[in-house]
A and B are shown apart, each in its own frame.
Chain A
Amino acid sequence: MIELRDVARIYNQGQPNEVAAVRGVSLKLPAGRACVIKGPSGSGKTTLLMLIACMARPTSGRVLLDGEVVSALPEHFMARERRHTFGFIFQRFNLIRGLSVMENIMLPAYPDGMPFGTLRNRARELLQRLQLTHRAQAPVEELSGGEAQRVAIARALINDPPWIIADEPTANLDSQLVLRLLEELAALKADGKSLIITSHDPRVFEADLVDMVVEMEDGRVVSVSER
């Protein structure tokens, strides 16, 4: 379970362009569920995900993972949490140009230094599962939007993390691909992964797999509804 206690994140604190992206959020996100965070653009959804996934430290408040405070861990341990606990699918995919599909997928496992054969086999399994095998050696800049997203998903899964976090996963997809994505997310949930998804797309937060919807506005949580 992930717990946020009175968490705030202020950008450029003390400067004229100060932005309080998240202010005073307290929230419990149980494991094994699919949770959607919705809200208008600029309401702080992405920032909140970053705080949850150990990519940013809260300006105040705490983030707890299974009862332990992670938001104050030293950088090295934060990095390890990012790697092993969370798989992050970015709003704009953030694939690394110039690397092949295969290399992009393996990227989060590089710091662990496992034998190449092991890593390659894992990556191949994921490619197969996401029907990307034929594109394995393609440079990522040649991919279509749907393919790029599947690469991003595969990359999030390479270290087999318990939590999968997706930021606006449907923003760049047409309706057919949205359906396919929802199937893939459902499959992940069936595998026992916990999902946290931000979206203002009704097709996502009204989907069957969603257990919980958190609504944000202007950096605050305004409602939490469970199904």
Chain B
Amino acid sequence: MMQRSRLFQRRSTPVLLMLGAGMALLLAEIACSGLCFADRLHARQRTAQLVAQLGLSDIALFTEARYTRHPSQADLFTPFQDAPGSLEHFPSGSLLTPPPHIVPTTGRARQSPPSPSSNQPDNRE
């Protein structure tokens, strides 16, 4: 039988090393999150400027349907594509909740002013 190396003389050593490595990596990532990404922060600021210049209102994450491309601009009926009984069929639609300002029952109701659409029957549920 071969003599075990010093490192493996105790079974816990490699495991503790693994735990330590995991911990160190996590801490490094946490530190890096704050320190290594200044360029992305600047890019974000420049993007905000572009938003101001072009007057954009939404993020271009889901381009598959009107109400997923511009959810904040969507009206209550768009998601149903003219058929109020139809089921959600765009995958990204399930990632978005209806904007609070058009569905007062799911969002915090807006006190002032009441938008016309909030007077409409809430048949989204």
Contact = CB atoms under 8 A, between A and B. Distances in A.
Contacts of A138: 1
Contact of A116 (B1, B3, B4, B10): B10
A136 B4 CA distance: 10
Contacts of B4: 137
Contacts, number: 10
Chain A, interface SS category: helix
Interface string B1-42: 111100000110000000000000000000000000000000
A98 to B, nearest CB: 10
Chain B, interface SS category: loop
B8 to A, nearest CB: 10
A116 B13 CA distance: 12
A137 B1 CA distance: 7
Nearest to A134: B1
Nearest to B4: A137
Contacts of A134: 1
A110 to B, nearest CB: 12
B3 A137 contact: yes
Contacts of A103: 11
Contacts of B10: 116
A134 B2 CA distance: 10
Interface string B67-102: 000000000000000000000000000000000000
Contacts of B2: 137
Interface of A: 103, 116, 134-138
Smallest CB-CB A-B distances: 4 pairs: A137-B1, A138-B1, A137-B4, A116-B10
10 contacts: A103-B11, A116-B10, A134-B1, A135-B1, A136-B1, A137-B1, A137-B2, A137-B3, A137-B4, A138-B1
Given A116-B10, A137-B4, 8 more contacts: A103-B11, A134-B1, A135-B1, A136-B1, A137-B1, A137-B2, A137-B3, A138-B1
